[in-house]
Amino acid sequence: MIFNQNEIKKLAEGDARTFEALHRTFFPKVHQFALMLLKNAQDADDVCQIIFMKVWLRRARLLEVASLDSYLFMLSKNSILDYLSSRKMKNNDSDKIPEETDAVTPHDNLVASDTQLLIEMVVENMPEQRQTIYRMSREQHLKNEEIASRLGIQKKTVENHLNLALKDIKNELFLILFVSLFWV
């Protein structure tokens, strides 16, 4: 089924049948993308559930979307990155008893080192103020209010710069991940 403005309008208004059709149409593509990045069918299933739940919850916004394919791709990409990030945070809980399978390998250290180097390169290429704000937040562990006070700017400006910095980093990491998957 091709989703034209009429179907998107029905979906935005909460039509369950149109949502089911969207799910049937796009689930295989979204699932394959998630599986390609996550390398685990259960994780891909979980992320797909999150993605389509977001589509349903944000359905009113679909009227503003120029391309449904692009929207679903970006939503999928961001949801997968968020999922990986939250899974990593869960794995880093300090009260978790490490199992033998959680042992850090030399390869893990190399990947972490390369990732940190890439992040540092992205930060180095940011505009000066964004770079300063990012470093104050992530390296000096200052709160947004403290950064705003020290730099004499609004807290909202700090938040905007941090959001842009994190977006730059996520996009670059995603690009590297995407390219590396196809180079293999």
Which helix (H) or strand (E) segment is 24 a member of? Answer: helix 16-38
Residue-range domain boundaries for the chain: 5-91, 110-183
Which has the closest alpha carbon to 132: 121, 146, 117, 147? Answer: 147
Cβ neighbours around 172 below 10 Å, total:
15
pLDDT in tens, 138-172: 889 999 999 999 999 999 999 999 999 989 888 88
Closest to 114 in 3D by CA, of 56, 172, 28, 55: 172
CATH class as words, domain 110-183: mainly alpha
What does CATH list as the number for 5-91?
1.10.1740.10
- Cα–Cα nearest to 34, from 69, 84, 71: 84
This prediction has a pTM of 0.50
- List pLDDT tens digits, range 7-65: 889 989 998 899 999 999 999 988 988 888 888 889 889 999 999 999 999 998 888 88
